[in-house]
Amino acid sequence: MTIQRTILLIFLLILIFIVAQFGITKSATVQNAEPGLDEKIGELIRIGFRGFEVDDNSPVVRDIKAKRIGGVILFDYDVALQSPRRNVESPEQVKALVESLENYAETPLLVLVDQEGGRVARLKERHGFYPTVSARYLGEVDHMDTTAFYASRTAKTLRELGINVNIAPVVDVNVNPDNPVIGGIERSFSSDTLKVTEHAREFILQHRNQNVITVLKHFPGHGSSTEDSHLGLTDVTDTWIESELYPYQKLIEEGHADKIMTAHVYNANLDPDYPATLSRNVITGILREQLGFDGVIISDDMNMKAITDHYGFEQAIKLALNAGVDVLAFGNNLIYDPDIAIKAHRIIKNLVESGEIPEERIDESYNRVMKLKSRLN
């Protein structure tokens, strides 16, 4: 081999090495690149949508592909249309729907459903799912093996369908048995705070066994209300008692709180100006600082009349995020807007760019959400 050929060979080997290293470095940079503001905001939005199946033309698919949302909420009934045709038809159909949604997502989705049992169960027996029992039934039976049986069966069903978040258990204390949205429809385990905590803990443990996230609700307590926040302002100033915080406090201390959902209840003793979802005093002051919760806080449905009748869309979003809420839920069911994710995303981005919501606030929430999502992987 001549000296010239040897030099040429060495040069080519060095060139190949440099190109290979550049490629690896570039690839690693892309994979580890910090997500932009648009993607971070998208992870803070959850929406409901219409359809037993989806395709490239579905608004929700458009939002998933654009990274405008980080998860979806499934319903069995379309309130706006007063129709039983929404997202749930059969176990096979729901599983196929969830798989289709995930196939469109670059980042795994959080797929949420309210499957408390009893009156609030989106996966009903008439659609081919197991029958369920109410929280009150479990509290009255008061045997942990019974609670474990029903919670385990629910969690296994969700896992098999690909649903990874159950918006349950309800840890509202049954202060007012005639409460039209909690006690009156058997959603509370008990008026005894210890029983509420014990049954909620078992419910959570059975879901964790199936790698399904749970959501404690409705903070700081909806059990004493006399009105339904779906229908309008719910004032608990004269009925709320501090012991309603106990289940949250205990489950947070034990490390059993995955996510916590806010309540759209107004309590002048906790905040003279805003309902809990929009209150920094309640969300940051009590839940974060007093009770020490550093997990994901999700709002109750921002389309409920307790919010929409008193606050503008942009104002409510701004107040909730600045209060410390991490994820905004738009059920998109009481009213329906196929562009709700686009509008919410645009508003949040504008508020950040104008300085009305600090970008650090978005970062905090994004990091909490991604930490929770990493548990599912």
Which positions are catalytic?
230, 300
Tokens of 335: 């009213």
Query: How many CB atoms neighbour CB 312 within 10 A?
Result: 10
CA distance 275 to 309: 13
Per the CB < 8 A criterion, the answer to whether 47 and 330 are in contact is yes
> Residues 6 or more apart from 307 whose CB is under 8 A from it?
264, 275, 277, 278, 316
Tokens of 178: 């005639």
Per the CB < 8 A criterion, the answer to whether 110 and 98 are in contact is no
Nearest CA to 330 out of 112, 123, 182 is that of 112
DSSP 327: B
Query: How many CB atoms neighbour CB 323 within 10 A?
Result: 25
Tokens of 165: 């978040």
